[in-house]
Structure 1
Amino acid sequence: MHDLPFNFVDYEGITRLFIYLNKDVQLVTRNTAKADIINRYKKEKEIVKSLLDDAPGRISFTSDLWTSLTTDGYMCLTCHFIDNNWTLQKRVLSYTFMPPPHSGLALSTKIHNLLCEWGLEGRVFSITLDNAYTNDLSVDTLRDELNLKDLHVCKGDHFHMRCCAHILNLIVQEGMKGVDPSIVKIRESVKYVKGSQARKQKFLECVSLVSSGNKGLSQDVSTRWNSTYLILQSDIHHRRAFQHLDLIDSNYKYCPSKVEWEKREQFCSFLKVFYDSTLMFSGTNYPTANLYFPAVYLCYIELKKQIERDNEHLKVMTSKMWLKFEKYWSEFCATLAIACVLDPRYKMTFINFVYTKIYGECSLEFHRFNTKLQSLFNAYKSSHSLQPSSSNALGNDLNNVRNDDTFDTMEAFKEFDEMSSNEFRCNSLKCQFELYLDEPKMPRHVKLDILDFWKSNQFRYPNLASMARDILSIPVSLSLQKLLSVLGDVYLTNINLLLSRRMQKQLFACEIGYVQD
């Protein structure tokens, strides 16, 4: 609970306290304390194993590497699945030291060993990783190893998922490279205000005078575009306060001109759809796989719209982003488009709508997608090991309602909203899938708990529900791993502070034991 070393039970003050409370106490050693904690860990591990054994269907994974402040490498492996009650679950299976080299072979070996340790080798559906060459190599090796034992669905066609938040980050970062010097003024303005307590107080007085509210100033990290978006947003909110500060403080030299303020507003408006999509992809309490395709389509529409407009400074930015977007669009896998089909608000109507808008009528790309969809459904139809749970309890918990309000007022969807499900039907898919597609799609603005929908319909479409269970458990980003990395940095920073303080109190010998433990 308190991050104490095992040998705290040997501290003189602790032993004296125990004896004072009970003179007949049997004191434990550091080894006994360590053994107790390891036994507790093993019991907790068995609980997680039991949960995974009871889970129907297959399991998706996310994995990420992290380098600590002391340059040690660690790897986190997290599993994601939907349980018998159609509740999205996730568990960190391993947060373990990863010695160099961090090659594709070393990573695949490490992940494969962990899968075998947990008995999940034959239940893998997908793994989501950052977009990196080493990860591509590790996934290819792992896929080949599992295919040798015939453990994949569709020979692993749906195995490798790239972190969508990471890809969006790469696309936007490409556009922001040296795009506009006014962003430098944003950073310098915030740095200036936060440079001293007197400046902070003066700025707060300006905020109070112009009544711009008490919204705080954000300071961005240049390698994270979403923080740059937040600093744009907060600066625009305090525009009048900065202009007033420019009038009363002769040392403040970074106030943007009227034209630069207008540019900022345009940048902020343009980046909003990418920021909202990133937030949506990073959700952990609701399925995100079904939200991917509509969100990416919105990004596509926004890019096309800005490229066609006669706005020079945004055109430079969007042209760079478009080249990057085209590179990754083909790699945005069909699996997440299938997840959109399994959303009763979209179905095949939306996929056909988008592919027609992008590629034209009866495109080869849509034919390929349809082939993959049919192949996956046939795999589930012929499989007896992936049947859904027999539980028939209906869920009433709507705490995990999806967060896709971004789509509600978008012009890009108006034409789709007016279409009916009967305007398109995939004739190559029969039985359950055909019945599902024949039913009218739900209104897109309905706040639907998609897991609750499939829980209610699992007996009408048993094979389709099994497929939905596995696909909807796929996380489209590595948000949990990123959080653990941040927590790891904070943890080690606190340890370093703790060491320096205690060393000043001549407890160096004790701390050596702490670090070793």
Structure 2
Amino acid sequence: MSKTVSNDPYIEGESDDLIELDSLEDISISLQTEQSKAKRRKTSNIWGFFEMVPNSDNSDGKPRAKCKMCGATYLVVSKYGTENLKVHIETCPRRNSRDIGQLMLCQNSGSMLVSASKFAKRYRELWVEAILKHDIPFQSVECSGIRAAFQYLRPDVPLISINTIKADLVKMYHRERKRVKCMLNDVPGRISLTSNLWTSINTDSYMCITTHFLDKNWVLQKRVLNFSIMPPPHNGISLSEKVYNLLCKWGIENKIFILTSDNASSNDVSVEILRTQLNSKKALICDGEFFHLQCCAHILNLVVQDGLKEIDCAIQKVRDSIKYVKGSETRKQKFLYAINQMSLDSKKGLRQDVPTRWDSTFLMLESALFYRRGFCHLELTDSNFKHCLSTSEWDKVEKISTLLAAFYDATCDFSGIKYPTANLYFPAVFMIYLILKRQCESEDDCMRKMSYQMLAKFEKYWSEFNVMLAIAVILDPRYKLQFVEFSYKKLYGNSSQEYLHVRAKLASFFMEYSSGTPTSSASERNVCRDVEEAEFRSFSGMTRIMKEFDSFQTDDLAANMQKNQLELYLDEPRADRNANLDILDFWKGNEFRYPDLANMARDILSVPVSTVASESFFSVDGRIIDQFKSALKPDIIEALVCTRDWLYGDQESEEMKLDELIEDILEVDINKSKKETPLPLQVL
């Protein structure tokens, strides 16, 4: 049989024949020919781009395939395979992207990159990952526009339902859960926990338990254990039972160090019950004396809220001033002109506070103080502006802002999740305590009253703070025990002896980690003594002399040999306080020098002083699950929250900034105004 070759040998030409090609073993084409009436399913992915032309449309009755994109037709002969169809797809003028979907053949092997089943599986996994990473609604998989876009890129792309994608999410959750469980079992030290209760808009409560630990490379890690529904009652017994069963389910009940929770009566009861349960298994250090830690960020919030009640009138005038500027486009333009006249940077931005967040109030005051001269200029040019503060009121706002700045900075430090926070507590709280005591002696009645109110609340929690947080700062080579001694004497006078209590607790706690084995030098002396006696056995006098030498040592050497690792560490000079020191790198580098002390530092430095880290999963405005997730079933919510944390942590899901919660106050399009050309004011 003659074969006609044209410029494109695979496109239908004058001859109905095709260039013969090697058939592919893994591809079968279902055709009904005169030789075979049996129909076989088309398994090649190439049929996503072609459709068979009915025989009635062909003048010669031979089977042909039609390209779905450009309409070109090709003869189809089963014994020659589908090579001509594949070549067309590579050169089809209507197919812009050749690599999408991994449909093309490898140039070397001529085989498909992925099979249809593998493609469908990976495609569904990518959908789950996108939902987790970008918080995409499940309904997106059934959106006609999204489906059309994917089908344009690959016509045979599988259609996914909401139920299918949820089932895939649950499968991924169980797969990742096994991996996380193995990780927790391999943790070299102990594991600390944070506990939170969340509420959905339909009033269902959810418990979230998060683990915090340092891995073998001294990298701080956190993993969410659960986000499960918590039916009432929410008393101490129910909460402790829920937590204990969860720890046993994960197999980490013998590795727990400290539990950080909010200051609630139910939490106090549950912690005591949980402490008793774990102590019965001898699972806690020091019989659980340091087991419970109250959320430090929550305590600071309570202290500030008490103080703000005393100065609400001054803050209200700032709110009213900002609301006035926001009231109309004309006022915005006038204010923009005012700050331009005062040569103020418009990019700083005005902020309006959120009533439920005191830190937003601080940022509002800070921004208002920055534009203080702008408000004063507006008062002169706008007779309707009646809310401008007087000089004395501005001075009062400045003092309030300075006081709140210490709380704001401490809260930001305590809320970190990518660095240790336990060693940051004592210096920050010491400074706050010192500032409050000094403000109580202020000549300003308002500031004095506010400081007294805050100090009374603060002292209540200061007297009950966990000694472990003082031990944490001692393990910081920039502070050590001297800072604890300095702080107490600065607060209570030089006769203060409180630091001795901390030192005693430090020593007893270190004994829990001390190996108790004899030092290497002592063991070596025993070995050397035996060797010497064997060598000089024939010289009785020499043996006696060498024994005398064994007992000879300088006083300094004897003192150092009797010191343990903690004492040697404390005796070393402190590091420069202003040095950019990574405390985890320090202990990683001294792990072999102070092995027992490093093990203790590993556990203490992994303790979170705040539960706020868990609040970044849904919103930062309280622990409220949004309306979209509240509509999901509890098992799907848990799979969604946990799997996202396990796969991406906080790398892909950035925390919402406060700016995103605050309404824009001065959105002004300068291009709309041709009369004035002030700098654009970016309102955050």
Q: TM-score range by the shorter chain?
A: 0.7 to 0.9
Matching residue of 1:205: 337
Query: Do residues 130 (structure 1) and 257 (structure 2) align?
Result: no
Matching residue of 1:423: none
Q: Larger Cα Rg: Structure 1 or Structure 2?
A: 2
Question: What is the distance in 2 between the residues matched to 1:383 and 1:481?
Answer: 39
Q: Deviations over 1:4-44 (max 9, x none)?
A: 44895698995998799567x88777665444332211111
Question: What is the distance in 1 between the residues matched to 2:266 and 2:497?
Answer: 31
2:384 to 241, 251, 254: 251
1:287 to 402, 413, 420: 420
Matching residue of 1:471: 604
More helix by share: 1
What does 1:139-154 align with in structure 2 at a 5 Å threshold?
A: 139-154=271-286
Query: Do residues 49 (structure 1) and 181 (structure 2) align?
Result: yes
Matching residue of 1:450: 583
| Deviation (angstroms), 1:143 | 0.9
Query: Do residues 436 (structure 1) and 569 (structure 2) align?
Result: yes
Question: What is the distance in 2 between the residues matched to 1:169 and 1:51?
Answer: 35
Taking a change above 3 Å as real, the CA distance of residues 491 and 152 of structure 1, as seen in their structure-2 partners, is closer
Q: Deviations over 1:37-78 (max 9, x none)?
A: 322111111221222222211011111112223322222211
1:268 to 373, 393, 401: 401
Q: Deviations over 1:138-190 (max 9, x none)?
A: 11111111111111000111111111111111112212213351211011112
Taking a change above 3 Å as real, the CA distance of residues 50 and 219 of structure 1, as seen in their structure-2 partners, is same
Matching residue of 1:336: 469
Q: Is the 8 A contact 2:434 2:491 kept in 1?
A: no
What does 1:167-206 align with in structure 2 at a 5 Å threshold?
A: 167-206=299-338
Identity between Structure 1 and Structure 2 (%): 51
SS of match in other structure, 1:62: strand
Q: Higher RCO, 1 or 2 (CA under 8 Å, sep at least 6)? A: 1
Taking a change above 3 Å as real, the CA distance of residues 17 and 294 of structure 1, as seen in their structure-2 partners, is closer
Query: Do residues 366 (structure 1) and 499 (structure 2) align?
Result: yes
Taking a change above 3 Å as real, the CA distance of residues 205 and 57 of structure 1, as seen in their structure-2 partners, is same
**Across the two proteins, how many residue pairs are aligned to each other?**
457
TM-score normalised by structure 1 residue count: 0.81
SS of match in other structure, 2:514: helix
Letter of the 2:226 partner, please give it: S
| Deviation (angstroms), 1:315 | 0.7
| Deviation (angstroms), 1:310 | 2.3
| Most deviating of 267-276 and 196-205 | 196-205
Q: Is the 8 A contact 1:63 1:127 kept in 2?
A: yes
| Deviation (angstroms), 1:471 | 0.2
Taking a change above 3 Å as real, the CA distance of residues 338 and 201 of structure 1, as seen in their structure-2 partners, is same
Question: What is the distance in 1 between the residues matched to 2:301 and 2:145?
Answer: 53
Letter of the 1:171 partner, please give it: V
TM-score normalised by structure 2 residue count: 0.62
2:209 to 56, 77, 88: 77
Question: What is the distance in 2 between the residues matched to 1:196 and 1:74?
Answer: 43
Matching residue of 1:61: 193
Q: Deviations over 1:192-242 (max 9, x none)?
A: 222333333332222222222121111113343222111111100011111
2:291 to 159, 162, 185: 159
| Deviation (angstroms), 1:430 | 4.2
Question: What is the distance in 1 between the residues matched to 2:502 and 2:273?
Answer: 25
| Deviation (angstroms), 1:434 | 0.7
Q: Is the 8 A contact 1:63 1:75 kept in 2?
A: yes
Question: What is the distance in 2 between the residues matched to 1:173 and 1:4?
Answer: 37
Question: What is the distance in 1 between the residues matched to 2:277 and 2:261?
Answer: 18
Taking a change above 3 Å as real, the CA distance of residues 489 and 249 of structure 1, as seen in their structure-2 partners, is farther
Question: What is the distance in 1 between the residues matched to 2:476 and 2:154?
Answer: 62
Matching residue of 1:278: 411
Matching residue of 1:461: 594
Question: What is the distance in 1 between the residues matched to 2:140 and 2:403?
Answer: 56
SS of match in other structure, 1:283: coil
Question: What is the distance in 2 between the residues matched to 1:249 and 1:202?
Answer: 8
SS of match in other structure, 1:308: coil
SS of match in other structure, 2:619: helix
Give the unaligned 5+ runs of structure 2: 1-129, 518-559, 641-684
Letter of the 2:417 partner, please give it: T
Letter of the 1:140 partner, please give it: E
Q: Is the 8 A contact 1:6 1:34 kept in 2?
A: no
Q: Deviations over 1:400-422 (max 9, x none)?
A: xxxxxxxxxxxxxxxxxxxxxxx
Q: Is the 8 A contact 1:66 1:73 kept in 2?
A: yes
2:218 to 86, 100, 104: 86
SS of match in other structure, 2:574: coil
Q: Deviations over 1:451-475 (max 9, x none)?
A: 0000000111111000000000011
Q: Is the 8 A contact 2:141 2:160 kept in 1?
A: no
Question: What is the distance in 1 between the residues matched to 2:476 and 2:426?
Answer: 11
SS of match in other structure, 1:459: coil
Question: What is the distance in 2 between the residues matched to 1:19 and 1:117?
Answer: 47
Q: Is the 8 A contact 2:138 2:165 kept in 1?
A: no
Question: What is the distance in 2 between the residues matched to 1:281 and 1:85?
Answer: 23
Question: What is the distance in 1 between the residues matched to 2:606 and 2:273?
Answer: 23
Query: Do residues 483 (structure 1) and 616 (structure 2) align?
Result: yes
Matching residue of 2:9: none
Query: Do residues 376 (structure 1) and 509 (structure 2) align?
Result: yes
Query: Do residues 353 (structure 1) and 470 (structure 2) align?
Result: no
Q: Deviations over 1:244-272 (max 9, x none)?
A: 22222233221111110111111112222
Letter of the 2:378 partner, please give it: L
| Deviation (angstroms), 1:478 | 1.8
SS of match in other structure, 1:95: strand
Matching residue of 1:320: 453
Question: What is the distance in 2 between the residues matched to 1:448 and 1:213?
Answer: 35
Letter of the 2:169 partner, please give it: I
| Deviation (angstroms), 1:293 | 0.5
Letter of the 1:435 partner, please give it: L
SS of match in other structure, 1:74: strand
Matching residue of 1:234: 367
| Deviation (angstroms), 1:338 | 0.2
Question: What is the distance in 2 between the residues matched to 1:10 and 1:295?
Answer: 51
SS of match in other structure, 1:107: helix
Q: Is the 8 A contact 2:200 2:625 kept in 1?
A: no
Q: Deviations over 1:389-444 (max 9, x none)?
A: xxxxxxxxxxxxxxxxxxxxxxxxxxxxxxxxxxxxxx9x9400011011101111
Matching residue of 1:414: none
Matching residue of 2:626: 492
Report the aligned-residue RMSD. Answer: 3.1
Taking a change above 3 Å as real, the CA distance of residues 96 and 192 of structure 1, as seen in their structure-2 partners, is farther
